[in-house]
Amino acid sequence: MKKLFISCPMKGRTEENIKKSMEKMHKIAEIVFDQELEVIPTWIDKEPGEECVNSGVWYLGKSIQLLSEADFFVGVEWTDFYKGCSIERTVARDYGIRSTFVDTHFLMPDAVDVEREFWASMEKTCNPAPM
């Protein structure tokens, strides 16, 4: 059976919401690619070691390693906020992995809420209220 890599936003989201999104993305990919697909498990329970300076890069490295096993890729359309998703998407494209993309706003509104909260906090930081 062919293998599917699911690139799903994780920053600031609950494990439950992430796994629900991945299930939906799996179903969409099977429809788009017209075949049953085995999902590569990309939920990494292991924690980086003490020598790790940047855990985001550590998790991304594990993710790219798993991506090397993929026949197919499904990710989100808009990846500016989700750096890991953006890099996974670029790797899939550059290495010729057949891909499809889903609309983050439609499929995972909780991820959109996380993004909105982040940008709202950045706006407050960059534009503090007058004294």
Q: For residues 93 and 67, what is the distance between their CA atoms, to the nearest angstrom?
A: 11
Full residue range of the structural domain in which residue 60 is found: 3-126
- So what's the pLDDT on residue 23? 96
Name beta bridge partners: 75: 101
Supply angle C-alpha 95, 66, 110, rounded to 5: 100
| Buried b or exposed e, range 42-52, using 16+ CB within 10 angstroms | beeeeebeeee
- So what's the pLDDT on residue 45? 82
CB-based contacts of 3, cutoff 8 Å, min separation 6: 37, 38, 39, 40, 69, 70, 71, 72
Asked if the model's pLDDT at residue 131 lies above 60, the reply is no
Residue bearing the bigger pLDDT, 100 or 111: 100
Instruction: Indicate whether 131 belongs to any domain.
Output: no
Q: Are 18 and 120 in contact (CB under 8 A)?
A: no
Q: For the segment 94-107, what is each residue's pLDDT rounded down to a tens digit?
A: 999 999 999 887 88
Total domains present in the chain: 1
Instruction: Indicate whether 28 belongs to any domain.
Output: yes
Q: For the segment 25-59, what is each residue's pLDDT rounded down to a tens digit?
A: 999 999 999 999 999 998 888 888 889 899 889 99
Asked if the model's pLDDT at residue 127 lies above 80, the reply is no
pTM of this prediction?
0.84
Asked if the model's pLDDT at residue 130 lies above 70, the reply is no
Q: For the segment 74-101, what is each residue's pLDDT rounded down to a tens digit?
A: 999 876 778 899 999 999 999 999 999 9
Q: Beta-carbon neighbour count of residue 109 at 10 Å? A: 11
Asked if the model's pLDDT at residue 62 lies above 80, the reply is yes
